[in-house]
């Protein structure tokens, strides 16, 4: 039975705590004492359990009142679970069933979400480290971003509904603060929790922290992130927030959901593919990763091409919000005006996504939260030889974002620098 005050779950108490919830018992089995529980959380913030029984399995995710990675010295509100729940149900509605794990139960007081157990899915980042080429992710992630980002914006939503949603997610201020500090500021000075591969990267790190143009650009991007409340973002859309099989792609873990610029989610996502590209030589064990690297650049190209194509389709078919009304364009027979406006919107997204991608790469190598792509390269010299070109690439795309006009150019830059 659910207690009223917040109590963290543990393996022993899950059955007793969730046994009477029909949505759980229906999926797992009627007798809670038959359930098997194991903890699978590998994330930085929360508890995650798989509960299995004679009928099937579910995942139980519970927030803790602090950051799991750091401990009780870094408090973090439980309500992030509320935002994860509200983001998941919106994403499912906007991107379609089967794009996120479906939610089976939510308990706000216990900060606890019960959801579909994705199996035999694995975390995309792991698959890419292992050199696996997933055939569907480019298209699936292009569609997911276009549909969630377009349909959560003033291009599509009734104005009142969007503003109500904006207010709801504005309360996710503490997680937003993590992004604001960890992504846009901390990498560029000697912040207490930062780390990097040392001494190998020391020289380059000094150079980047003294780079005035880069620091100004990072703060301009931060201002965009805080001020451009354009759509409901996933907020943490990296390759560790995607679970895959050969035939299925699911986006998980939207607890950082907040209104922000469309370009943020796409930039963060593409940055994680570029980082995988730079990390590949660090994972070669006799095998040749050239084909894998070409595959990754192809995925980046496909995500952006699919995003644009789907965004354009929605622009023509679902532009019912307050922006660029049809009364000014199509209704006057001015389809050229509508095309020009669409191209302008996409051009802005493009320039900004390069900026967000650049700072995302920096913070994963210089900040608190590193990623397994580089971290699992055990030898520091080898790791640094992958991280160094990634840092240089991040600097070039962040500062030079107005001078890069296509994915082909940016991918060519990645090849040139690596
Ligand atoms: P955190 O917010 O702490 O990062 P995540 O939501 O990313 O937590 O979950 C942590 C891990 O638990 C994931 O990396 C994944 O391995 C596993 N996981 C999370 N949700 C599911 C799910 N619905 N099905 C299967 N595994 C899951
Ligand atoms: Mg996670
Ligand atoms: Mg994780
Ligand atoms: Mg998370």
Give how far Cα 404 sits from Cα of 182, 240, 294, 407, 418, Å: 26, 27, 20, 8, 18
3 in any annotated domain: no
Shared-domain flag, residues 296 and 211: yes
Mean pLDDT of the 329-358 span? 98
Q: Are residues 137 and 248 in the same domain?
A: yes
Q: Summarize pLDDT for 215-252 with one digit per residue, the tens.
A: 999 999 999 999 999 999 999 999 999 999 999 999 99
Percent of the chain past pLDDT 70, that is, above it, reads 99
Instruction: State whether 238 and 376 are in the same domain.
Output: yes
For residues 326 and 300, membership in a common domain is answered with yes
Query: Is residue 339's pLDDT more than 50?
Result: yes
For residue 123 and ligand 1, the question of a CB distance below 6 A is answered with yes
4-18, 160-174, 199-213: which has the minimum mean pLDDT? 4-18
Question: Is 61 part of any domain?
Answer: yes
User: Does the beta carbon of 42 lie inside 6 Å of ligand 1?
Assistant: yes
Statement to judge: residues 162 and 286 lie in one domain: yes
Ligand nearest to the CA of 243: 1
Judged by average pLDDT, the poorest of 1-5, 172-176, 249-253, 297-301 is 1-5
Among 70, 101, 116, the domain boundary falls at: 116
CATH code: domain of residue 76: 3.30.200.20
CA proximity to 362, closest of 215, 239, 264: 215
Give me the CATH number covering residue 216. 3.90.1200.10
Residue nearest to atom 26 of ligand 1 (CA): 118
Dist CA 39 CA 8 (whole Å): 13
Tell whether 1 is covered by a domain.
no
Domain match, 104 and 158 both: no
Residue nearest to atom 8 of ligand 1 (CA): 43
61 alpha carbon – ligand 1 mean position (Å): 8
What is the CA(65)–ligand 1 centre distance, in A?
18
Nearest alpha-carbon partner for 271 in 303, 307, 247, 246: 303
With 70 as the cut, is the pLDDT of residue 55 above it? Answer: yes
Report the domain count for the chain. Answer: 2
**Of all atoms in ligand 1, which is nearest to the CA of residue 116?**
23
Q: Is the CB of 235 within 6 Å of ligand 1?
A: no
Distance 87 CA to ligand 2 centre (A): 14
| Residue 7 counted as domain residue | no
Cα Rg of the chain (Å, integer): 22
Ligand 4 midpoint to CA 268 (Å): 15
| Minimum-distance ligand 1 atom for the alpha carbon of 253 | 6
Does one domain contain both 159 and 290? yes
Question: Is the domain of 267 the same as that of 373?
Answer: yes
Dist. CA 61 → ligand 4 center (Å): 10
Any ligand 1 atom below 6 A from CB of 236: no
Query: Domain span at residue 49?
Result: 14-116
Distance separating alpha carbons of residues 391 and 406, to the nearest angstrom: 20
Residues in a beta bridge with 250: 243
Q: What is the mean pLDDT of the chain?
A: 96
2 assigned to some structural domain? no
Last residue of a domain, one of 116, 142, 165: 116
CA–CA separation, 357 and 273 (whole Å): 10
Tell whether 109 and 25 lie within a shared domain. yes
Residue 124 is encoded by which pair of tokens? 């995309």
User: What's the pLDDT at 288?
Assistant: 87
Question: Is there an atom of ligand 1 within 6 Å of 45 CB?
Answer: yes
Ligand 1 near 101 CB (within 6 A): yes
Question: pLDDT digit string (tens) for 259-316?
Answer: 999 999 999 999 999 999 999 999 999 888 999 999 999 999 999 999 999 999 999 9
pLDDT (tens digit per residue) in 182-203: 999 999 999 999 999 999 999 9
pLDDT-derived band at 45, boundaries 50, 70, 90: confident
8 lies in some domain = no
User: Secondary structure of the chain in the HEC alphabet?
Assistant: CCCCCCCCCCCCCHHHHHCCCHHHHHHHCCCHHHCEEEECCCCCCCEEEEEECCCCEEEEEECCCEECCCEEEEECCCCHHHHHHHHHHHHHHHHCCCCCCCEEEEECCCCEEEEECCCCCEEHHHHHHCCCCCCCHHHHHHHHHHHHHHHCCCCCCCHHHHHHHHHHHHCCHHHHHHHHHHHHCHHHCCCCCCCCCCCCCHHHHHHHHCCHHHHHHHHHHHHHHHHCCCEEECCCCCHHHEEECCCCEEECCCCCCEEECHHHHHHHHHHHHHHHHHHHHHHCCCCCCHHHHHHHHHHHHHHHHHHHHHHHHHHHHCCCCCCCCHHHCHHHCCHHHHHHHHHHHHHHHHHHHHHHHHHHHHHHHHCCCCCHHHHCCCCHHHHHHHHHHHHHHHHHHHHCHHHCCCHHHHHHHHHHHC
* In a domain? residue 5: no
Distance 378 CA to ligand 2 centre (A): 22
Grade residue 3 by pLDDT with cuts at 50, 70 and 90: low
390 C-alpha to center of ligand 2: Å? 22
Residues 245 and 389 in one domain: yes
404 CA from centroid of ligand 4 (Å)? 32
Residue nearest atom 6 in ligand 1 by C-alpha distance:
253
Cis, bond preceding 120 (omega within 30 deg of 0): yes
Please identify, among 116, 138, 168, the residue that sits at the C-terminal boundary of a domain.
116
112 shares its domain with 126: no
Q: Quick check: 146 and 307 in contact, CB under 8 A? A: yes
Spacing, Cα 111 to ligand 3 middle (Å): 18
Q: Which atom of ligand 1 is nearest to the CA of 46?
A: 3
146 CB less than 6 Å from ligand 1? no
The HSE-up count of residue 63 (CA atoms within 13 Å, CB side) is 26
- Take residue 22 and report the two structure tokens written for it: 């029909």
* Cβ of 150 less than 6 Å from ligand 1: no
> Distance (Å, rounded) from C-alpha 37 to C-alpha 318?
44
Examine the domain organization and report whether 196 and 104 are in the same domain: no
Please indicate, yes or no, if residue 62 is contained in any of the structural domains.
yes
Q: What is the distance of C-alpha 218 from the center of its chain?
A: 19
The response to whether residue 142 sits with its C-beta less than 6 Å from ligand 1 reads no
For position 2, what pLDDT does the model report?
A: 47
**Ligand 1 pocket member 61 (CB < 6 A):** yes
């Amino acid at each position: 039975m659910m207690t009223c005050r917040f109590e963290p779950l543990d393996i022993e108490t899950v059955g007793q705590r969730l046994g009477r919830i029909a949505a759980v018992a229906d999926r797992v089995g009627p007798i809670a004492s038959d359930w098997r529980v194991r903890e699978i959380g590998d994330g930085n913030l929360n508890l995650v359990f798989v509960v299995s029984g004679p009928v099937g399995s579910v995942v139980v995710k519970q927030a803790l009142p602090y950051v799991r990675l750091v401990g009780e010295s870094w408090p973090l509100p439980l309500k992030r679970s509320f935002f994860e729940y509200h983001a998941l149900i919106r994403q499912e509605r906007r991107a379609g069933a089967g794009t996120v794990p479906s939610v089976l139960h939510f308990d706000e007081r216990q900060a606890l979400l019960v959801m579909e157990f994705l199996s035999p899915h694995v975390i995309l980042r792991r698959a890419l480290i292992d050199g696996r080429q997933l055939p569907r992710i480019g298209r699936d992630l292009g569609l997911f971003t276009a549909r969630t980002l377009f349909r959560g914006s003033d291009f599509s939503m009734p104005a009142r509904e969007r503003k109500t949603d904006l207010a709801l997610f504005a309360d996710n201020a503490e997680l937003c603060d993590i992004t604001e500090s960890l992504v846009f500021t901390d990498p560029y000075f000697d912040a207490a929790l930062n780390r990097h591969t040392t001494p190998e990267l020391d020289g380059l790190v000094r150079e980047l922290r003294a780079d005035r143009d880069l620091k100004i650009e990072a703060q301009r991007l931060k201002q965009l992130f805080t001020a451009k409340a354009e759509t409901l973002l996933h907020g943490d859309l990296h390759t560790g927030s995607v679970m895959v099989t050969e035939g299925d792609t699911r986006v998980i873990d939207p607890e950082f959901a907040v209104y922000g610029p469309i370009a943020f989610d796409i930039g963060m996502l593409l940055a994680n593919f570029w980082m995988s590209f730079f990390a590949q030589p660090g994972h070669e064990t006799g095998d040749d990763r050239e084909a894998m690297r070409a595959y990754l650049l192809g995925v980046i190209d496909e995500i952006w091409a699919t995003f644009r194509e789907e965004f354009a389709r929605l622009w023509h078919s679902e532009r019912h919000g307050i922006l660029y009304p049809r009364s000014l364009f199509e209704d006057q027979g001015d389809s050229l005006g509508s095309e020009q406006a669409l191209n302008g919107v996409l051009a802005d997204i493009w320039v900004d996504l390069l900026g967000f991608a650049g700072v995302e790469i920096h913070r994963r190598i210089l900040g608190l939260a590193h990623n397994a792509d580089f971290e699992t390269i055990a030898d520091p010299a080898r790791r640094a030889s992958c991280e160094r070109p990634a840092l240089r690439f991040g600097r070039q795309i962040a500062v030079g974002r107005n001078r890069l006009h296509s994915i082909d150019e940016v991918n060519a830059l990645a090849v040139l620098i690596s």
